[in-house]
Amino acid sequence: MKPRIRPGIGLLAAPLPIIALAAVPAFAATPDAQSPTALRGDVVAAVSHSVRTGDVAANQRISVAVSLAQQDTAGLDTFLSQVADPSSPNYQHYLTVDQFAQRFGASPQTVAKVSAYLAAQGLQVGEVSANRLTIEASGTAAQVQKAFNTSLATYQDNKDGHSYYANTSEPSLPAEIAGVVSDVSGLNNYAKYTHFNTKSTAQATPDATPKAPAGLSPTSAKAAYNLTSTVNAGYNGKGVTVGLLEFSGFQQSDVAAYDKAFGLKVSAPTVVNAGGGTTDTSGQDEVDLDIQVVQALAPGATIKVYEAPNSDAGETAIYSKLVSDNVPVISISWGTYEAGETPSNRVAVDADLKEAAAQGQSVYAASGDSGSDDAGNGGTSVDFPAADPWVTGAGGTTLTQGSGGAWKGETAWSGSGGGVSSFFNTPSYQKKVNSGTYRSVPDVASDADPASGWAVYTGGAWAEYGGTSASAPNWAAFTAVYNSEAKAKGKPSFGFANSRIYTLAGSSSYKSAFHDVTSGSNGAYSAGAGYDKVTGWGSYNGANFLKAELG
């Protein structure tokens, strides 16, 4: 996934069980059940504009993640509608991971059947997610090709010249297995996810001196979004975990230098590996930005950095891990244009995001830094996962501060990703402001212009960063602050974010709880009063938002 960073350009799930091969029942099927059935939409789009250069070596190790179909999808849709509806008796009555698995996860029998099939093909069966919707497995390329009835070839992309491997055709499985499988990820290593940060043109400053370069500091950021008094009162995110979804590693020394420069007394972030984790550090500036924004605004929060390989298998594994761990607040700064996601992967990730909403997890995703043309093809398009209705898409603004760093104004940043989804229907919570067939993006916004960006210490130097990658962790940090105050006052946590945001924005408290952004554009769309396709409902006015919701 592509990171959206512009350098000033319920109950915790039990540990995931390991399925021992000896305990997997033998796979047996009738002749009809053995008939191969293709899984549609499971070939990476890049193959169509790439040159085949050879075959993957038969002994190359390949890791895959098999996504299983949810049970009772109609019942889940009904539940999600109710849990997001303030007029429903089920409003904000969220499920635990175990409750979700029992109602909507695959049955233990289905898990055993699919596991047995994989083992029968010679694959090593690994972790099964707590929601019983993802099975990890690995084997040689020869075993993987046999298991999924496809070939793995090497390619060179004509657009950017990079090399990768991918399946040459849609994978297929015996009919009785294919009927319960929604996606097989890991058949390619085409790294398609990018981060959305932009670095300012100002010169980076080496050494973590007390004086950082121009850019938002913890003090000025809290002042801008009216959180100073709240954090000083002790509502600083303490007791709340914020999970950061990352496809890159980072250097703890950079984070420590940032904390030292600003005198922050915070806990060091911890790393949680998904899909084997990653040794790639090419996106460390993104990870540093995410961590430092959360620490700046919610210094008491516990930060867990979830790391996975930058691949579709890594994508499947990391979303599955985040919902299985029931992380209460999640920030995502990586994405891809909607059509760049394979249909089957989109279904698999959407299933996890539905679970997140059902469990009351607050999920924020950067909406992209390419304005109204996320695909970069001259048309209009939006970014995934921000376009998913169970995610809160975070757009970008240009921030102006007054005396003492106080908020003075915000205009729409030209790079703010926004527009209309091509795949997701208009959700019920958005229908009052969107009469169209498809969902509009983003939902909210905050500072993302690198010219008014954040001071970040990364790679041993200071720089100023913007991008909608700064907006997602900003909202995540605010949600951590909200949850810490809510807990102290005996009130419910933020929960599924779009439900709370749209309900408050539609009330008489809108003008005090939000900063409505009414000027600027992202290309095809312009900001205006109330909701718009550039900045959503706008940015939050911290203390006023909290007062309106928590008293």
542 DSSP 8-state letter: H
Residue for token pair 């290309």? 523
Q: What's the confidence (pLDDT) of residue 194?
A: 86
Q: Where are the domains of the chain?
A: 18-189, 195-515
Q: Is the alpha carbon torsion for 24, 29, 34, 37 positive or negative?
A: negative
Question: pLDDT under 70 in the chain at which residues?
Answer: 1-34, 191, 201-212
Residue 343 in contact with residue 377, Cβ under 8 Å?
A: no
To which residue do tokens 């008014």 refer? Answer: 452
With beta carbons less than 8 A apart as the criterion, state whether 189 and 64 touch. no
* Cα of 461 vs its chain's centroid, Å: 27
- Indicate the burial class of 206 (C-beta count within 10 angstroms; 0-12, 13-18, 19 or more): exposed
Q: pLDDT tens-digit profile of 281-330?
A: 999 999 999 999 999 999 999 999 999 999 889 999 999 999 999 999 99
With contact defined as beta carbons under 8 Å apart, do 375 and 192 qualify?
no
171 upstream amide cis, omega within 30 of 0: no
pLDDT at residue 36, as a whole number: 85
Amino acid at 281: T
Contact at 8 Å (CB) between 123 and 137? yes
Q: Where does residue 282 rank: exposed (0-12), middle (13-18), buried (19+ CB within 10 A)?
A: middle
Tell me how crowded residue 339 is: count the other CB atoms within 10 A of its CB.
Answer: 16
CATH topology of domain 195-515: Rossmann fold (3.40.50)
Kindly list the catalytic residues: 286, 290, 469
Q: What is the pLDDT of residue 91?
A: 94
Write a three-state SS string for 338-401. HHHCCHHHHHHHHHHHHHHHHCCCEEEEECCCCCCECCCCCCCECEECCCCCCCEEEEEEEEEE
pLDDT of residue 5: 58
Predicted confidence at residue 201, as pLDDT, reads 58
- Asked if 218 and 26 count as a contact pair (C-beta separation under 8 A), the reply is no
The pLDDT value recorded for residue 202 is 52
